[in-house]
Amino acid sequence: MEDLSILNITDQLRILKDHVSERTKNTNQLATHLAKSHSERQKLKNEIIANVELIHKNYEPHMPRHSTPLTEEKRSVKGSLTPFLGENVISEKDIPKLEEWPTFSGEG
Instruction: Reduce the DSSP state of residue 5 to 3 states and report it.
Output: helix
The pTM for the full model equals 0.38
Domain ranges of the chain: 1-61
Q: State the Cα–Cα distance between residues 101 and 93, nearest whole angstrom.
A: 14
Q: What are the counts of helices (DSSP H) followed by strands (DSSP E) for the chain?
A: 2, 0
Per-residue pLDDT of the chain (108 residues), as tens digits, is 456 677 788 889 999 999 999 999 999 999 999 889 988 999 999 999 999 888 888 776 655 555 555 555 555 444 445 455 555 555 566 666 666 666 666 554
